[in-house]
Each structure stands twice: as C-alpha cells, then as structure tokens.
C-alpha cells in the first residue's frame, strides 16, 4: 500500500511558517498585502475568493478585497490594476478567473506588475520560469514541487511523466521538474500510447480534469503519484484524475483527492505574497 502524501498536513506546516514570517516582517514595519479582485457573481469564484481571504487573515496577511459587478468595463478593471500596481501596501495582486466575456483576460493579466504577479501567470514570470530563474512560481505547480520535497522524493535522474499541458499546471510543473534534473515527458490529448508512457514513470503528475482516467494498472510498481485533478462526481463526491484505490496498490506514495494538492495552492499564494513583501515590491 502506498504512503499517503498528506497535502493538508504539509499545507498546515507551511502556513505556520508563513505566519511566523509575517510576524517577523510586521516587527520591521512591513505588513504583507494581497489584493484579490473578483468581477461578477460566478459561484465557484466567490467560494475561492472567500477561501483566499480567510487564509490571508489566518496568517496575518492584509487582504484587500475588490468585488466588482459583472458590468465592470475592461477600462475600469485596468485602472484598478494600475492603482494596485502603485499601491505600496500591496505586494501581490490576484485577479480571480474566469473574467466576464467582454473583458480580455490576457490584457488584464499582462497589466499586473510582474513583481506583484503572485499567481505567476504574467509572460515575464512564465519566461523566467522556463529559463530557470523564476520570480514567482505559479501556485499549484509550486505546491506539487513542495509536496514532492516534503515527501523526500529526489527528482534528479528520474523519469517524470506529466499528463496535461495547460499553462497553469502541466507546462509549468514540467519545467520545474526539468529544472530539478528529471527527464520529463509531457503528455496531452493527442499523445499516443498514454498507458505505456505513464508506465515508464518514476513520478506521475496528473493534471487532466477527467475523473480517474489514469488507471491504477498503468502505474509502475513503486512510482510516486501526484494527482492534481479535482473532478466532481455526482452531488458531493470529489475524485482525482487517477484511479486512486488501484493506483495505491502499486505506487510507493500518492496524493489523495481531496486533501492532496488542493490545500497547497492557496498556501503557495500566501508564500509568494510574503516573498514579495520581503523583496519590498
């Protein structure tokens, strides 16, 4: 049976360390500040934003909330971002996605100062990540890397197979593993013989968004499995992208869903905000 890599416990430990760091900064007269911008009434986005606000409060980060109506124009949003870029109390800016259709998401994300881009989505930060000199690392992939480290998984020389090539998870996590000297295979919907590729992996990172599509039988015995997927099945049940029960029989370590990668994402957002405050953004 695989060891469970407990995202909740790792996240709690790191949030404790962040709270200590926030206290230390406050003693020097610096209060880390995160601006969270929500446009419209998307129910899931509202839940995420309130989770981020609460997480900030729990560790002592100043949470500057901007809840704007769905009718907000692109110009009004860009003006707000301009003000936040110049506001010295703010060290991180997060615009909750998706934005209403009349707003150009790329234009908005590009308007955030790369030095306050705690989500790590700005092309400047994406480029820095690719050349191995990140300023901010995107939160979910960063969380995956921290979990691997905490679980004692050494990546150098290992075969890592990432399934999913999105800009927010698959691609950045592949570059982060490459930076740690893994040999990385990045798979997607057009990949042939996926089962065979997954079967080669010492570490499988799944970020597909399809319930249990990676079968337990594909996993090489002793491999480490990180499941980023969060899929709602029926009314209440959440499952990952990996067939958890069967994969647990073969893997040496595995992340559960829920309670795996999920709690790490907001934790790394807090971490990036504090790092930004330390740099004096």
Q: Would you tell me which residues interact with ligand NDP (CB under 6 A)?
A: 140, 163-166, 168-170, 187-191, 194, 207-210, 213, 228-231, 261-262, 265
Catalytic residue among 6, 96, 158, 227: 96
Closer by beta carbon to ligand NDP, 133 or else 190? 190
Pairwise CA distance, residues 124 & 133, whole Å: 11
Pairwise CA distance, residues 9 & 200, whole Å: 29
Catalytic residue among 6, 52, 64, 197: 52
Q: Which of 62, 65, 69 has its CA nearest to residue 95?
A: 65
CB of 88 to ligand NDP, least distance (A): 30
Closer by beta carbon to ligand NDP, 39 or else 187? 187
Q: Strand pairing of 224-227 and 183-187?
A: unpaired
Q: Is 57 helix (H, G, I), strand (E, B) or coil?
A: helix
Identify whether 137 is a catalytic site residue. no
Pairwise CA distance, residues 80 & 82, whole Å: 5
Distance of CA 193 to CAs 160, 189, 200, 205, 227, Å?
Answer: 16, 11, 11, 17, 20
Phi then psi for 256, rounded to 5 degrees? -80, 165
Closer by beta carbon to ligand NDP, 114 or else 172? 172
**Are 33 and 274 spatial neighbours (Cβ–Cβ below 8 Å)?**
no
First to last CA, the chain: 46
CB of 24 to ligand NDP, least distance (A): 28
Pairwise CA distance, residues 211 & 11, whole Å: 24
Closer by beta carbon to ligand NDP, 181 or else 189? 189
Identify whether 58 is a catalytic site residue. no
Identify whether 64 is a catalytic site residue. no
Number of residue whose CB is nearest ligand NDP: 166
CB of 207 to ligand NDP, least distance (A): 4
CB-based contacts of 192: which residues, under 8 Å, 6+ apart?
none
CB of 89 to ligand NDP, least distance (A): 27
CB of 215 to ligand NDP, least distance (A): 12
Catalytic residue among 6, 64, 119, 202: 119
Closer by beta carbon to ligand NDP, 63 or else 209? 209
User: Which positions are catalytic?
Assistant: 52, 96, 119
């Amino acid at each position: 049976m695989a060891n469970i890599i407990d995202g909740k416990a790792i996240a709690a430990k790191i949030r404790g360390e962040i709270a200590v760091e926030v206290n230390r900064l406050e003693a020097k007269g610096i209060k880390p500040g995160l601006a969270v911008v929500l446009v419209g009434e998307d129910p899931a986005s509202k839940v995420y934003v309130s989770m981020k606000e609460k997480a900030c409060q729990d560790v002592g980060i100043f949470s500057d909330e901007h809840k704007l109506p769905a009718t907000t124009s692109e110009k009004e949003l860009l003006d707000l971002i301009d003000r936040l870029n110049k506001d010295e109390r703010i060290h991180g800016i997060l615009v909750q996605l998706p934005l209403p259709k009349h707003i150009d998401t790329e234009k908005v994300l590009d308007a955030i100062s790369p030095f306050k881009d705690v989500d790590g989505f700005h092309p400047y930060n994406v480029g820095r990540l690719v050349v191995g000199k990140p300023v901010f690392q995107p939160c979910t992939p960063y969380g995956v890397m921290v979990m691997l480290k905490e679980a004692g998984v050494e990546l150098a020389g290992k075969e890592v197979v990432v399934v999913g090539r999105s800009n927010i998870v698959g691609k950045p996590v592949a570059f982060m593993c490459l930076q740690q000297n893994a040999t990385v295979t990045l798979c997607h919907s057009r990949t042939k013989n996926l089962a065979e590729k997954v079967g080669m992996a010492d570490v499988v990172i799944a970020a597909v968004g399809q319930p249990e599509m990676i079968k337990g039988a594909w996993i090489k015995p002793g491999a480490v499995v990180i499941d980023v997927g969060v899929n709602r099945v029926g009314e209440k049940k959440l499952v990952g992208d990996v067939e958890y029960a069967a994969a647990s029989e073969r893997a040496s370590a595995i992340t559960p869903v829920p309670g795996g990668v999920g709690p790490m994402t907001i934790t790394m957002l807090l971490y990036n905000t504090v790092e930004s405050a330390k740099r004096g953004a």
